[in-house]
A = this chain, B = another copy of it.
Amino acid sequence: MATKARRTERREEPLSRERIVEAAIGILDAVGEGGLTFRVLAERLATGPGAIYWHVSGKEELLGAATEVVVTGTVLGGAGGASPQEVIRDLALRLFDAIDAHPWIGGQLARSPGQSPTLQVFERLGRQVQALGVPRPARFTAASTLLSYILGVAGQNAANAHGQESEQDRTEFLDGVSAAWANLDPDAYPFTRDVAEQLREHDDRAEFLAGIDLVLAGIAASHAG
């Protein structure tokens, strides 16, 4: 405590919305959506809950901001001169991987249509739909369908991300579901039983992309005829 001895200005690093959102993302990635509480967040930032509320209006805004940071980082930067189909596939896969890395985004995206992150994706999809040569009145439907499909997969992936960190957890999970499907009532669930074995060796990412291709094929077919 020499002269005035503020060895650090006021704090090591002042609180800021940016630092709060960053810490929130860290917690969300580490312990999931349910693990983010203002108490934990305050502890991690070495402060109290009240201080956080001065920078952020509440939990909803915090989750929204966290989602926006990740999604914006994901949506920007992508394929260059490829075909519109390729750009859409690339964007979709980048989103899929981002949701895989941060499962909480899935639930958040699915729950907040019209918000900035969803809009960003919609815009990117729409531009490529336009580049695809889809006539103007059909563009909205085409872009919305792609978006809804992506959000649907996102929500399911987010829900499935319960305690499967490793590759092994994942295999066990698929084996379990596959076995459960194979044991369903044959009269009530013939189809599900029939595809149960396909589930065991299935690759979520490839399956997701195949769905994108299906929609793209539908878009192409619809404005060809």
Chain A interface (Cβ < 8 Å from any Cβ of B)? 107, 110-114, 119, 122-123, 126-127, 129-130, 136-137, 139-145, 147-156, 158-160, 177, 180, 184, 188-192, 194-195, 198-199, 202, 207, 210-211, 213-222
Q: How many copies of this chain sit in the oligomeric assembly? A: 2
Bound-state CA distance A129–B155 (Å) is 23
List the B side residues contacting A158 at CB < 8 Å. 111
| 27 A-B contact pairs sorted by A residue (CB < 8 Å) | A110-B152, A110-B159, A119-B184, A122-B192, A123-B188, A123-B189, A123-B190, A126-B191, A126-B192, A140-B195, A140-B207, A141-B214, A143-B191, A144-B211, A145-B210, A149-B149, A149-B152, A149-B215, A152-B152, A152-B153, A213-B218, A214-B215, A214-B222, A215-B215, A217-B218, A217-B222, A218-B219
State the CA gap A39–B121 with chains docked (Å): 40
A interface, over-half SS: helix
**Inter-subunit contact B192/A144 (CB<8 Å):** no
**Which residues on B sit within 8 Å (CB–CB) of A222?**
213-214, 217
* Candidate in A111, A145, A180 with the most chain B CB atoms within 10 angstroms: A145
Cα distance A143–B190 in the bound complex, in angstroms: 14
Contact B113 A110 (CB under 8 A): no
